[in-house]
Amino acid sequence: MPPRRSTRAASVKPQPAKPEVKKSAVKAPARARTATKRPAPVEDESRTPSPTPPTKRRRAGSRAAASRVEPPEPKAKPAPKKPIEKKKVEKIEKEQKPYFNPLPTPPEHLRPAPQLFAWGAGNFGQFGMGENSLGELEKPQRNKLVEQKMQEGVYGEEGAGLEAVAAGGMYSLFVDEKGTIWSCGTNDDAALGRITSNVPNPDKEGEFLDIDTLTSQPFPLQSLVDQNFRAVRIAAGDSISAAISSQGDLQVWGSFRGVEGLLGFSSGQKHQFLPVPILDLPSKPGDAEKFTAVAAGNNHLVVLTTHGHVYTWGAGEQGQLGRKVLERRKIHGTTPEKIVLGGRSHKAVVIGAGNYTSFAVDEKGDRSPTPEKKVIGLSKKELGGDETVVQITGGEHHTLFLTSTGKVYACGRSNGGQVGIDEDDPAVKDREFPDMLEKPTLVTFPDKDDPIVHISVGIHNNLAVTQGGALYTWGTGPQSELGAGDETELRTPKMIVRKDGGSWAATAGSCGGQHTLALLRKKT
């Protein structure tokens, strides 16, 4: 790079130049390398005088100023320094915006607390009454093991009981007032969520606990207890189970079965014996998506999120997943995927499932089964504008719908009393198929002034609980699933637990593959 040229102008006008002396003609004398002091140079007048450099500015506090001697001024006493406080940098977390669907919350704890009753077939320990109670119960019978634990305060404070029950294929799940999940019944396909074989006996070294005891009595899912998982929602299929906590977290365990046999829990895994989280939802500051509801068919699951999204997974051979699953890649159905309801803007508020069906209700009050179609006659507009469907559950070939006003509608196969509608009812007289009810039809109950608040469906049997505490059953129950003594078929709803009189009032119930569970509260 060429050297920069000075732009400073000369302060003195230069004199006319003298004849130039060639530098090559005069040799400069060699400089002696001595220690003598060099004489001051004599200015050559013949040379053009150099311009006078401008006077340099002195900084304040320069040496010249410092050379002046002035009397010292008295030093002021410095003010005490205040300690510098370090500001705490706090991580500001965005407040969670309101959910479209609220997180699940535990029910009110009643006193006296509800007790567990069971009937039907208990040959695999699904009653939870112990290895000496594996037979068939024609009528509701109280679980004394659970009653004893209530008295001991195992489920919470003294007298605390169960909040929820779910009857699976040949097993049962319970939730107590602490939010702990208990299970009993067959565990061949990991439905119980805990290990029941080769469990060491803590009291006797080298021995193992009896597998019959571990399956015929309720035991807690300790892995969830260790995680402080406070269960609120539970669902039980044939061998697949799921639970949602009060924080909106989902845990799943068990296995799925297809038409040709065991399908597995997921790709590369046949059984999942302990609960695991299976689906990671999108999450960003102030907008974390959580789970709020879960429903189980025989071998598939349906979940609803706080943002109104629906996910399904499991066996999809009957179209129950709402998406196409290739025959040669059935295992791909065990991966959860989001289902679009009509349009991407539609959000679900209610979900339900039958053995081989799935349902969702959107914010407009329209219902869609899978494959996605609207259910005739049960939209908000068709129900009058204010009434909506709040619960959907189905069996092998029939479905029940519960509305916000306590009415029950039924459709599907009716050759064994599944729909609960009498043959003389005008609504079914002119139907095209004698053993099939194509459109949802209103089910009539003996007490029209006592609205239904809860429904459950087994394979071919049904259960309904009223606001006043009555419990009805109907349908077909060859193994005493109806709880009606020796009656194995009821064409219309029959009252098993009375609203008026009697000692017990029903609060909830669940129909399984061969057994039925109910929570009954002692009347005071």
- What per-residue confidence (pLDDT) applies to 324? 85
Give me the CATH number covering residue 257: 2.130.10.30
Q: Give percent of the chain with pLDDT exceeding 70.
A: 81
The residue-averaged pLDDT of 351-357 equals: 97
Q: What is the pLDDT of residue 12?
A: 41
Q: What is the pLDDT of residue 35?
A: 42
State the Cα–Cα distance between residues 313 and 319, nearest whole angstrom. Answer: 11
- Averaged pLDDT for residues 372-389: 88
pLDDT on residue 370: 53
Strands (E), 224-299: 231-236, 240-245, 250-254, 256-258, 261-264, 272-276, 283-284, 287-288, 291-296
Model confidence at 327, pLDDT cuts 50, 70, 90, reads confident
Give the whole-angstrom CA distance, residue 499 versus residue 519: 14
pLDDT tens for 143-173 read: 999 999 999 999 999 889 999 999 999 999 9
In a domain, 207, yes or no: yes
- What is the total count of domains within the chain? 1
Whether 163 and 176 have beta carbons less than 8 Å apart is answered as yes
pLDDT score for 87:
54
pLDDT, one tens digit per residue, over 447-504 is: 999 999 999 999 999 999 999 999 999 999 999 999 999 999 999 999 999 999 889 9
CA 460 to chain centre: 30
Distance (Å) of CA 497 to CA 138, 320, 336, 404, 482? 14, 34, 40, 23, 12
Element (H, E) at 360: strand 358-362
The CA-atom distances, in angstroms, between 168 and each of 192, 240, 296, 303 are 10, 8, 9, 17
In a domain, 314, yes or no: yes
| Residue 459 within a domain | no
* Higher-pLDDT residue of 45, 221: 221
3-state SS, residue 152: helix
423 pLDDT tier (thresholds 50, 70, 90)? confident
Question: Is the pLDDT score of 380 beyond 80?
Answer: yes
SS3 category, 330: helix
| Residue burial 493-510, b: 16+ Cβ < 10 Å; e: rest | bbbbbbbeeeebbbbbbb
Name, of 48-62, 133-147, 420-434, the range with top average pLDDT.
Answer: 133-147
DSSP state of 332: G
Residue numbers of the domain that contains 148: 115-375+499-522
Q: How far is CA 80 from the centre of its chain?
A: 58
pLDDT surpasses 70 at 68: no
pLDDT digits (tens, 9 = 90+) for 295-311: 999 999 999 999 999 99
Residues 6 or more apart whose CB falls under 8 angstroms from that of 373 comprise none
Q: How far is CA 28 from the centre of its chain?
A: 97
Residue 424 counted as domain residue: no
In a domain, 458, yes or no: no
Domain membership of residue 407 (yes or no) is: no
Q: What is the pLDDT of residue 58?
A: 46
Residue 27 lies in a domain: no
Is pTM, for the whole model, over 0.75?
yes
DSSP 91-102: -PPPPPPPPSSP
Q: Say whether pLDDT at 7 is over 80.
A: no
Whether 278 maps to a domain, the answer reads yes
Tell me what the mean pLDDT of segment 360-386 comes to: 80
Name, in order, each residue with C-beta under 8 angstroms of 318's C-beta and a sequence gap of 6 or more: 356, 357
Q: Provide the pLDDT for residue 74.
A: 55
pLDDT of residue 429: 81
